[in-house]
């Protein structure tokens, strides 16, 4: 069924203790597209991605990927099913080399046997990673470190890549580089779902967008529809 979305999240409710953070959240990611979730601080963006990835427990709702119900599967199972995540602030081991960091993405037994060919693939996508393989990761620029973090996540050869605020803390010039990296990953046929607080950096790059406020999805549409919607223009762009 070509029209069935690759990822379908339905009626997602997530609580931290007694505190409900996500309320009936629904979203879809289609094969090969870039989708984004825009929302202010504390709206629950990271929690959406973590819930999909099995990093926080789901109270109720469904996570369906490629037609299979994967709700409640542990994170390593999600990885072997074809989803990978780049955590917020990259979380590199800054005292280890570029290559050591990338190889950490192949820790799972389903990937270890293919680590050499996966490494060759990610280094062909981003040749600078091979040139700089012995450099201490903490000495790379912010954009290069994000590239290392993305390369690490690609080691499991995901079909869907989740990214938690990929531009966080980066200067405008570096942000442009990261946008190019995301486009490059996507051009390999990998669908991308990322969250972000900046309208242009999210809806300007995405096929579909969602607006999350107070743990509820309040609007969705194509990237252009989202960018031109009244609420986004008024509240987020101030026009």
- Among 45, 90, 132, 208, the residue binding ligand ATP under the rule CB under 6 A is 45
* Complex with ligand ATP: residue 126 or 236, whichever CB lies closer: 236
The rounded distance, in Å, linking the Cα atoms of 100 and 70 is 30
CB of 236 to ligand ATP, least distance (A): 13
Other C-beta atoms closer than 10 Å to the C-beta of 231 total 12
Interaction residues for Mg ion, span 23-52 (CB under 5 A): 45-46
The rounded distance, in Å, linking the Cα atoms of 151 and 131 is 14
CB of 38 to ligand ATP, least distance (A): 10
* Complex with ligand ATP: residue 123 or 165, whichever CB lies closer: 165
CB of 179 to ligand ATP, least distance (A): 19
CB of 157 to Mg ion, least distance (A): 26
Which SS3 state, helix, strand or coil, does residue 192 take? strand
Check residue 202 for interaction with ligand ATP (CB under 6 A).
no
Label the pairing between strands 7-16 and 60-65. Answer: antiparallel
Check residue 54 for interaction with ligand ATP (CB under 6 A).
no
CB of 76 to Mg ion, least distance (A): 22
Check residue 153 for interaction with ligand ATP (CB under 6 A).
no
Q: What separation in angstroms does the CA of 119 have from each of 68, 83, 111, 152?
A: 28, 18, 11, 9
Interface size with ligand ATP, residues (CB under 6 A): 10
Which SS3 state, helix, strand or coil, does residue 210 take? strand
Binding partner of 21, given Mg ion, ligand ATP, none, CB within 5-8 angstroms per partner class = ligand ATP
Binding partner of 205, given Mg ion, ligand ATP, none, CB within 5-8 angstroms per partner class = none
* Complex with ligand ATP: residue 16 or 180, whichever CB lies closer: 16
Binding partner of 5, given Mg ion, ligand ATP, none, CB within 5-8 angstroms per partner class = none
| DSSP string over 139-168 | GS-HHHHHHHHHHHHHTT--SEEEEE-TTT
100, 92 Cβ separation under 8 angstroms: no
* Complex with ligand ATP: residue 25 or 119, whichever CB lies closer: 25
Q: What separation in angstroms does the CA of 239 have from each of 17, 84, 201, 235?
A: 39, 36, 17, 8
* Complex with ligand ATP: residue 98 or 178, whichever CB lies closer: 178
Query: C-alpha angle 220/183/125, rounded to 5°?
Result: 145
Place of tokens 């299979």: 68
- Among 39, 105, 142, 143, the residue binding ligand ATP under the rule CB under 6 A is 39
21: buried, middle or exposed (CB in 10 Å: 19+, 13-18, 0-12)? buried
Interface with ligand ATP (CB under 6 A): 16, 21, 39, 41-47
Interface with Mg ion (CB under 5 A): 45-46
């Amino acid at each position: 069924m070509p029209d069935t979305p690759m990822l379908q999240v339905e009626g997602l409710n997530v609580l931290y203790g007694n505190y409900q953070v996500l309320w009936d959240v629904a979203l879809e990611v289609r094969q090969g597209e870039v989708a984004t979730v825009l929302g202010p601080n504390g709206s629950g963006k990271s929690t959406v991605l973590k819930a999909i990835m099995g990093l926080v427990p789901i109270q109720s709702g469904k996570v369906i990927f490629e037609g299979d119900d994967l709700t409640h599967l542990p994170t390593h199972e999600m990885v072997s099913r074809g989803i990978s995540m780049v955590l917020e602030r990259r979380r590199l081991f800054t005292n280890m080399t570029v290559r050591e960091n990338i190889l950490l993405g192949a820790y799972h037994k389903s990937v270890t046997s293919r680590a050499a060919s996966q490494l060759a693939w990610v280094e062909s996508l981003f040749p600078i990673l091979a040139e700089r393989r012995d450099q201490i990761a903490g000495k790379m620029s912010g954009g290069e470190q994000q590239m290392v973090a993305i390369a690490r996540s690609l080691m499991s050869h995901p079909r869907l890549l989740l990214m938690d605020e990929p531009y966080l803390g980066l200067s405008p010039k570096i942000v442009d580089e990261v946008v190019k990296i995301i486009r490059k990953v996507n051009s390999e046929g990998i669908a991308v779902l990322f969250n972000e607080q900046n309208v242009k950096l999210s809806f300007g790059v995405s096929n579909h967008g969602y607006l999350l406020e107070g743990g509820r999805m309040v609007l969705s549409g194509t990237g252009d529809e989202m960018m031109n919607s009244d609420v986004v223009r008024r509240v987020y762009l101030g026009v």
